[in-house]
Amino acid sequence: MRTRRDAALERLTKRPEFLAAASGRRFHTERMSLQGRRRPEGEAGSGLRVGFTVTKRVGHATERNRIRRRLRSAIAEAGQPYSGEPVDVVVIGRRDTLAAPYATLIEDLSRGLKAVTRPKAPARDRDHATNPAKEAAPGQT
């Protein structure tokens, strides 16, 4: 049953979608990792799309499912400000998600979404930010 609260959030379902999101920015905490990228113009989907991954190393199926349910519920709240942005995000759950307070999960997801949905700076701005020597005109020292 879908509620109005998470109706705006779509799901990533195909492997190429997960791989594309993994090629973008990353954000890590001890409870989860987020991988995300902004979709190029014309690509399918209109708003935030989210995929969830919890590996078998984390625990038995019941524990993995519980982690996924907690993350799905928390992203429904934390992802509301990003529901209209063309962004794909993969959330990788860790074992510490089970014991973490729900408010902490929402806070981690909010910080992570802010980090992975940030647009890339233009190439010229990135060069000057990382190499201040390029700002000086040639021949001036």
109: domain CATH number is: 3.30.230.10
Residue 56 included in any domain = yes
Residue 81 included in any domain = yes
Residue 67 included in any domain = yes
pLDDT at residue number 123: 61
Residue 1 included in any domain = no
Residue 3 included in any domain = no
Residue 35 included in any domain = yes
Domain that holds residue 129: 10-135
pLDDT tens track for 43-99: 766 788 999 999 999 999 999 999 999 999 999 999 998 888 889 999 999 999 999
Residue type, 102: Y
Question: How many domains, in total, are found in the chain?
Answer: 1
Average pLDDT rounded to a whole number, residues 19-48: 87
pLDDT at residue number 6: 46
pTM comes to: 0.77
